[in-house]
Structure 1
Amino acid sequence: MKKYILVLIAIATYTLTSCKEEKKGPAQPTQMQQVMAIHDEVMPKMGELGKLVSTLKPMIDSTKTGMQYEKAMIDLQNANKSMMDWMQGFGSKFDSDEILNGKELSAEKQNLLNTEETQIKEVANKINTSIANAEAMLKK
């Protein structure tokens, strides 16, 4: 009889401990968090865009070099506009609970988020590229 009780206790203990969720490593960021991380990475560079535009503007003239400065300035301005347009569009498509609190997205909003992820990557590329090009031009 004692054997049966010990076996039942062992089975019950095994069953209870095996049903617990396994602890996993740190949670993977959601797609929304990844999109916001890209935004947060390039947003601080917006001030740099403005400074570079201010530096380039007086250097523009009708010479070949002056026109190159103008192109670099326009690229910076376009990158800035892209970020502003993206933020406005993103904010109109998602509410704060979806952005900040991880509220589950509908299938339609998930499709929108997929598109927004692609767009913010393009915006980040424009910002980084335009800054790098302007800085390289100014070092010449």
Structure 2
Amino acid sequence: MKRTILYLILASFTLLYACGPSGPSENEILRAEVIAVHDEVMPKMGQLKSLERKALEKAKELQSQEVVDSVAVEKYKALAYDLNHAHEAMFEWMHQYEQLDEGKSEEELEEYLDTQMILVSEVNVEMKTALTKADDLLK
């Protein structure tokens, strides 16, 4: 009798485990991918601002010389602009990103996440490009 009860309990747990959730949905995976793209460059936000200040200081330093190299000054100002724009683009993306899925069908959510993947990927590329340009110019 005890053995039968034990087998019934074991069978119940096995059945409950087998009928449980089968893993994350496609939209959950897509959301995780969007966040992963964001998380890749988010830690570099402070670096963007630091490099922007350095580029502006370098432009100001070049402008204060007797013979001004206006091409070099414009390169540093353009770099500062690119760094600032990449910084602002990340903030804009984060501000408009919706974490909650309330009121959206699975199809609407998938479309939304696909769009967000495109947008955050563009921000990712912009940030990496600006950082690479800064590495080249500020060394």
Structure 1-normalised TM-score? 0.69
Residue 90 of structure 2 aligns with which residue? 83
Shift of 1:55: 0.7
Matches within 5 A, 1:63-78: 63-78=70-85
**What SS does the aligned partner of 2:97 have?**
helix
Mapped partners of 2:50, 2:40: distance in 1: 18
Q: Which residue of 2 aligns with 1:53?
A: 52
Q: 1:120 is matched with which residue? A: 120
Question: Which amino acid in structure 2 is aligned with residue 118 of structure 1?
Answer: I
For the residues of structure 1 that align with 2:53 and 2:30, how far apart are their CA atoms? 36
- Taking only the aligned residue pairs, the percentage that are identical comes to 28
Partner of 2:133: 133
Give the Å deviation of 1:58.
1.4
5+ residue gaps, structure 1: 1-19, 22-27, 99-103
Which TM-score applies when normalising by structure 2?
Answer: 0.69
Partner of 1:5: none
CA root-mean-square deviation: 2.8
Partner of 1:38: 37
Any idea what the Cα deviations from partners look like across 1:25-53, whole Å, max 9, x if unmatched? xxx97010011011011000101101101
